[in-house]
Structure 1
Amino acid sequence: MSTCLDNLGPLLGGANSTDAATYICNQFADTTSAVDATYLLFSAYLVFAMQLGFAMLCAGSVRAKNSMNIMLTNVLDAAAGALFYYLFGFAFAFGTPSNGFIGKQFFGLKHLPQTGFDYDFFLFQWAFAIAAAGITSGSIAERTRFSAYLIYSAFLTGFVYPVVSHWFWSGDGWASAGRLTGPLLFGSGVIDFAGSGVVHLVGGIAGLWGAFIEGPRKGRFDDDGLTVEMKGHSASLVVLGTFLLWFGWFGFNPGSFLTISKIYGESGTIDGQWSAVGRTAVTTSIAGSVAALTTLYGKRWLTGNWNVTDVCNGLLGGFAAITSGCAVVDPWASVICGFVSAWVLIGCNKLALLLNFDDPLEATQLHGGCGAWGIIFTALFAREKYVVQIYGQPGKTRPYGLFMGGGGRLLAAHIVQILTIVGWVSVTMGTLFYVLHRLDLLRVTSEQEIEGMDKTSHGGHCYVGFTKHAELEHTKLPEHDARGQSM
C-alpha cells in the first residue's frame, strides 16, 4: 500500500492528493482481493468436479454388479470429508500459529475469516482432501464393507492427510518450502507444489495397505498364481471420467498458486503470476499427453493391443507425476516427466501381478508410483527462476533442480518427503485397516462378493435389466478368456 501511495500521490497533486491517493489505492487493493478470491473459488470448483471424474472412472473400472457401490463411496468421500475436514482436518493442516508437526487453530472454522485464511481457502483445501480419499477407494473396490469406507474416509480426511499437508504446505510445517518460522529443510524445504506427495502418494500408500490387507478379489488369481482378467464393465465411463479429471486438473495444479494478481517483475510486463498460471496449465497438459502416447505405444509393443483403459491410466499417471513440479519446470521438462511416468506405471503394474496384488483401478501403482516419481522429477528439473518467484528469497542462493545446476539439497529434501509419507501413512492407515480386518469389519463375505455388493448392500443393481445370468458372467469368465498375464 505504501508503494501505491508513494507513486500515486505526487501524480495527483493538489491539497487533497493524499486522501485521493489513499482512496484509489484502497480500491485497487479491494479489487485485487476480489479477483484472487474469485480465482481460488473457481479453482476449488474445478477440483471438486474431479469427484465426478473419480466416480465415473471408478464405476467404469469395476464390474457392473458393484458400480452402484463404488459411486456411493465417491459421494460419501465428499460428504463425510466435508464434515470431518470442517471439524478437524483444516485445523490440523493450516491451524497457524502452531508447531512443525500439526496445526492447532481453526477447529470448526473458529476465528475465520481472517487475512490469508478465508472461506475460499478452506473450500479449496477440502477439495484436495477428498481427492486423496477418492484415490484410496479405488484400490479396495469390489470387496470392502460399506461401513469400512466410512471409517477410513473420515480418518484419512480428518487426520492422516491434514497432518501431511501441514508438514509440506503450512507456513509452520517442518519441511515446507514456504516455511515462515525456523530453518528450511536442507535450505530448501520440499517443493511439492500441488501434491504429488501430499495428495497422490498419501492416497496411493493408503490404498496399498488396504488392498494388501484385504487380499485380492475372489477369482483374481487362480491356484497357479496366473492372472484372471476382471475387466471393468464400461470403457465409456472410464473415458468420461478421465476427461473430467483432466478438466479438474486445471484447478488442481494452476489453482495451487492461490492467487493470480501477483507481479514478479516491473508493472506493465507479462512477468506476473498470471503467466506462471498459464505455464503450469501447459506443463500439466503436456506431461499427461506424453504419458498417454507413451502408454499407447508401450502397451501395443508389450501386448499387441491398442487399449483405451491403459491409455487413460497412463494419462492420469502423467498428471499425478507433474503435479509436484508443474509450476517450477519448463514445458520441455514435462515431456520427460510424462514419458518416464508411463514406464513407471507399466513397471508397477507388472510388479503388482508378480506379487498377486489386486488393485482394480491401479490406484496404488498410478498415484503411489507416479506420485513418487513426480517428487524425484521436481528435485531434478526445478528451474531456479521459478523457484525464487514462487517461494521468495530473491537475490539469495536457494537450492533448485539437480540437473539444472542447483545441487543435491532439494533432492535430499524430496527423498525425506517420500520416506516420511510412506512411514506416516503406513503406521496410521495400515494400522487402521489391520484393526478393521481383525474385527471382521473390512471385507464382505464370499457370498456377498460373488453376488455383488449392489444387490447385497444397496437394494438392487445399478442397471435396469441386469439379470442373474449377466451377474454370473461377470463373476466367472469363460475358460479361454480367463487365463493370461495381460494387464
Structure 2
Amino acid sequence: MSGAITCSATDLSALLGPNATAAAAYICGQLGTVNNKFTDASYAIDTTYLLFSAYLVFAMQLGFAMLCAGSVRAKNTMNIMLTNVLDAAAGGLFYYLFGYAFAFGESSGGFIGRHNFGLKNFPTLTLDYSFFLYQWATHFVAYLIYSSFLTGFVYPVVAHWFWSVNGWASPFRSADRLFGTGAIDFAGSGVVHMVGGLAGLWSALIEGPRIGRFEEGGRRAIALRGHSASLVVLGTFLLWFGWYGFNPGSFTKILVSYESGSSYGQWSGIGRTAVTTTLSGCTAALTTLFGKRLLSGHWNVTDVCNGLLGGFAAITAGCSVVQPWAAIVCGFVASLVLIGCNKLAEILKYDDPLEAAQLHGGCGAWGLIFVGLFANEKYINEVYGAGPGRRYGLLMGGGGKLLGAQVVQILVIVGWVSATMGTLFFILKKLKLLRISEKDEMRGMDIARHGGFAYIYHDNNDDESSQFPRVSPGSPLPRSPNHPAV
C-alpha cells in the first residue's frame, strides 16, 4: 500500500480564488477523512488475514489429534485423544498467563521477555489480539504432561531469541545481529519443530521403549503399527491444509507493497511461500514412498504421510526466502533425513510411535541448515529488511555467516531443551509419574485409566477370548444390554 495521502491547506489556498482558505481547509479535511478510511481498511485487512491464518493453524490441532490416534494401538485411542484436547486447553491458558510475555514482551538482555503477563497493557501500537492468537495456535506439537511447562516457558524463551525484535539472535534486530545477520527461522523449523521434537526425544528416551517393541535381548525391532491408517491419512491432510496458515500466515500482514505502484508486494511473497511449502512436502512424500519401497519392499501409506510432514517441517524455516526449485531440494533431503533418523532409532533401540524426534527434530534441523545454503538475497531483504551486513545462502553466493548463525541456532536449541525438558522428565520418572505399570500398558490406557475403549476392537497382542466371544461364520451376532445387535 502506498504512503498516506497528504494535504496542506496553505499550499492549496494559493491555487484557489476567493474563499481560498476555507476551500482549502475543506478539501484537505475530506482528503484526511479518506486517508483515515484507507488506514482503517489496511488494519482490518491485515488483522483479518492473520486471524484467518490462526484459524487454519488451529485446525492443525485436529489433524495432529487424528494422526496421533491412528498411529497408536486401538487400546490407547481414548487416552491420546484426551491428551490432545487438554493440551490445547492447558496450552492456551499458560500461554496467556506467561508464554506470550516471555516470547514477545520487552526484552531482558535479549534472553527473555518481561512484560504483558496475562496480556496486561495489551494491545499495543504495533501488536494486537490477532497476533497473540496466531502465536498460541502454532504450539500444536506439545503433549499434556509437559504442555504447561513447554508452552509457558521453554518454547517462549526460544521464540524470544529468534523472533522478537530484541532477541539476541533475531534477524529483526536493528544492530549487533548474530554474525551480522541473525538466524533466519521464518515460521519455526527450529523454534517450533525442533523444540517439540527434542522434548519428545527426551520423553521417549527416559521413559524407554514400549513392551514388545524389541525382541528380548534387543536383537531385532518389531513393528507395532498404529491401528488406523485412515486416521493417519485424515490427520495428514488436515495438517497439510493448516500448514497454509502456518507458513504464509507468519508474514502477519498482507497489505504491504514492495514496489510502490506495482502489482508486486507482500501478497506475492505469501503466494510464493505457499508454493515452496507445497513443493517441499510433495517431494518428500514421493521420495519417502520409493525410498521405503526399496528398503522394506512395501508401499506404506503411513511412511509416506510422515515423509510429507517431514518435508513441511523442513521448509518451514526458509519458505519465504527461497526459490521454488530450492524447495524441491529441501523436500528431497528431508525425506532422506527422516529415513536415516528412523533407521538410527532402530539401531539405538529408541521407540516413539509418532516419530516426533526424527520428523520434527531431524527434519527441523535440516530446515535450518537449508536456509543457510539456499536463502535468496532479494527475498531476505524484502522479508527482513536490507540492513548493513545482511547475509544470504552460502550456495547462492552469500558467504558462510548465515549458515554459521543457523548452526548456532541448532546448538542452542538442543542445549536449552535438553537442559529443561530432560531435567523435567528425569524428575517425573523418579517420582514414578512418567510411565504406567506393565499390567496397565498391556491392557491399554483406555481401559486402565479411562473406564472403557474408544470403540470395540480386536488387538492381535491380546487374548481375544477374554474380551469378546467368538462368533462362527453365519452365526447371529451376540446381544448385550449395552451393545444391541445391528
| TM-score, normalised with respect to structure 1 | 0.90
Residue number among 96, 106, 109 corresponding to 1:99 in the alignment: 109
Question: In structure 1, how many angstroms separate the alpha carbons of the residues matched to 2:155 and 2:36?
Answer: 38
Q: Does 1:466 align with 2:462?
A: no
Matched, 1:28 2:38: yes
1:411 to 395, 398, 403: 403
> What do the CA deviations read for 1:362-393 (whole angstroms, capped 9, x no partner)?
11100000000000001100000000001112
Which residues of 2 match residues 3-402 of structure 1 at below 5 A? 3-6=3-6, 14-15=23-24, 16-129=26-139, 131-133=140-142, 137=143, 149-150=144-145, 152-180=146-174, 182-225=175-218, 226-267=220-261, 269-393=262-386, 396-402=388-394
Q: Tell me the CA shift for residue 469 of structure 1.
A: 7.3
Contact 1:196/1:371 (<8 A) preserved: yes
Is the CA contact 1:290–1:338 (under 8 Å) kept in the aligned structure 2? yes
How far apart are the structure 2 equivalents of 1:472 and 1:401? 58
Instruction: Please tell me the root mean square deviation across aligned C-alpha atoms, in Å.
Output: 1.9
Picking from 410, 419, 424, the partner of 1:427 is 419
> CA 1:11–1:164 in structure 2 vs 1: closer, same or farther (change >3 Å)?
farther
In the alignment of these two chains, the number of paired residues is 453
Q: 1:309 to 1:3 in 2, by over 3 A?
A: closer
Letter in 1 for 2:314: A
In 2: Cα distance, 1:327 partner to 1:426 partner: 29
Alpha-carbon distance in 2 for matches of 1:11, 1:305: 78
Q: Distance in 1 between matches of 2:135 and 2:406?
A: 22
Inter-CA distance 38–186: structure 2 relative to 1 (3 Å threshold): same
Question: Offset of 1:4 from its aligned partner?
Answer: 2.2
| Residues 96 and 171 in structure 1, CA contact (< 8 A), matched pair in contact too | no
Shift of 1:120: 0.5
Aligned-pair CA distance for 1:470: 7.4
In 2, the alpha carbon distance for the partners of 1:235 and 1:59 equals 10
Q: Which letter maps to 1:79? A: A
The answer on whether the counterparts of 2:247 and 2:316 sit within 8 Å (CA) in structure 1 is yes
How far the C-alpha of 1:7 sits from its partner, in A, is: 7.7
Displacement, 1:341?
0.3
The percentage of aligned residue pairs carrying the same residue is 65
Alignment check: 8 A CA contact 1:132 1:161 kept: no
User: What whole-Å deviation, never above 9, does each CA across 1:153-196 have from its counterpart, x for those lacking one?
Assistant: 1100000000000000001100011124x411001101100000
Indicate if the aligned counterparts of 1:201 and 1:371 stay in contact, CA closer than 8 A: yes
Give the structure with the larger helix fraction.
1
Q: CA deviation at 1:8?
A: 10
- What is the rounded CA distance, in whole Å, between the counterparts of 1:403 and 1:168 in structure 2? 23
Cα distance, 1:18 vs. partner?
Answer: 2.1
Q: Confirm or deny: 8 A CA contact 1:8 1:21 kept in the other structure.
A: no
1:191 and 1:310 mapped to 2: Cα distance?
29
5+ long unaligned stretches in structure 1: 138-148, 474-487
Q: Is the Cα–Cα contact under 8 Å of residues 7 and 28 in structure 2 kept in the other structure?
A: no
- Taking the aligned partners of 2:167 and 2:386, their CA distance within structure 1 comes to 18
CA shift at 1:400, angstroms? Answer: 0.4
Deviations 1:331-364 (A, max 9, x none): 0000000000000000000000000000101111
In the alignment, the residues of structure 2 paired with residue 213 and residue 170 of structure 1 have an alpha-carbon distance, to the nearest angstrom, of 32
Change (3 A) 1:18 1:97: farther
1:174–1:469: structure 2 CA closer, same or farther, 3 Å change rule?
closer
The verdict on how the C-alpha distance between 1:121 and 1:229 changes in structure 2, with shifts beyond 3 A counting, is: same
Per-residue displacement from partner, 1:35-60 (whole Å, max 9, x unpaired)? 00000000000000000000000000
Contact 1:254–1:278 (Cα < 8 Å) also in 2: yes
Distance 1:2 1:63 in 2: 56
Code of the aligned partner of 1:154: S
Native 8 Å contact 2:197 2:361 kept in 1: yes
SS of residue in 2 equivalent to 1:132: coil
Q: Which secondary structure state, in structure 2, belongs to the residue aligned with residue 218 of structure 1?
A: coil
Counterpart CA distance in 1 for 2:79 and 2:8 is: 61
Structure 2, unpaired ranges of 5+: 16-22, 465-486
Partners of 1:7 and 1:250 lie apart in 2 by 41
- Give the whole-Å Cα distance in 2 for the aligned partners of 1:11 and 1:288: 57
- Considering Cα pairs closer than 8 Å and 6+ residues apart, tell me whether 1 or 2 has the greater RCO: 1
Give yes or no for the alignment of 1:446 onto 2:438. Answer: yes
2:472: which partner in 1? none
Question: 1:277-309: per-residue Cα shift (whole Å, max 9, x none)?
Answer: 000000000000000000011111111111100
